[in-house]
Structure 1
């Protein structure tokens, strides 16, 4: 009889432990996704500031949702300019330095920003 009680208790505890661990994992994953979205929105803002400061005739910047967060905390973002999907942009925003560290923008640079990156 004692053996059956121990087996029954074990069969109840194992699924409850699994449910608890699954819930903790889901909360952790949710928090990580929220952090990525926050970083993506910050990167978009800084990239927009960077482009409008350094390039001519930028009326609108559209970003795609295919971003990638690297292990060092940077985020790679893609988009296009003025509604023209052929005028692409790509950049890596480094959160640690609060700068766009690598980029390609299909637009003409402002004369004062040709030799150096202007502050944004």
Structure 2
């Protein structure tokens, strides 16, 4: 009888240890995923800023909202506005694998040299 109690206590300890280790692993993975998302958002903002300043005129300031969406293909959709005017909205999808702003909508006037094509940024 004593042998069964010792085995049962051992199994309970092993189970609780496994649950604890799984919880620690999940927390670590969640922290890494959050950090990767923040790094991708920062990179997308930088590339979008470069794109807008290269292709559009009269851009003094670009402000981004914190609501971004990462799609399964690795792109990130970001929103914002220009020059402190919330009516001058911007939206774009940064495609990380190709390192470019793929789809975009900017409420501003294009530079003359960039009207027919997207200028290199």
| TM-score class, shorter | over 0.9
The answer to whether structure 1 residue 48 and structure 2 residue 49 are counterparts is yes
The answer to whether structure 1 residue 62 and structure 2 residue 63 are counterparts is yes
Length, aligned pairs only = 120
Q: TM-score normalised to the size of structure 2?
A: 0.97
Helix, strand or coil for the counterpart of 1:31? helix
The answer to whether structure 1 residue 31 and structure 2 residue 32 are counterparts is yes
CA distance in 2 between counterparts of 1:84 and 1:15 reads: 55
Helix, strand or coil for the counterpart of 2:5? helix
Q: TM-score normalised to the size of structure 1?
A: 0.98
Aligned Cα root-mean-square deviation (Å): 0.6
The answer to whether structure 1 residue 87 and structure 2 residue 88 are counterparts is yes
Q: For residue 29 of structure 1, report the CA deviation from its aligned partner.
A: 1.1
Q: For residue 33 of structure 1, report the CA deviation from its aligned partner.
A: 0.8
In structure 1, what is the equivalent of residue 79 of structure 2? 78
CA distance in 2 between counterparts of 1:115 and 1:42 reads: 26
CA distance in 1 between counterparts of 2:99 and 2:4 reads: 62
CA distance in 2 between counterparts of 1:47 and 1:59 reads: 14
Map Cα deviations across residues 9-53 of structure 1 (whole Å, 9 max, x no partner).
Answer: 111111110010110011111111111111110100000000000
In structure 2, what is the equivalent of residue 104 of structure 1? 105
Unaligned ranges ≥5, structure 2:
none
CA distance in 2 between counterparts of 1:41 and 1:85 reads: 21
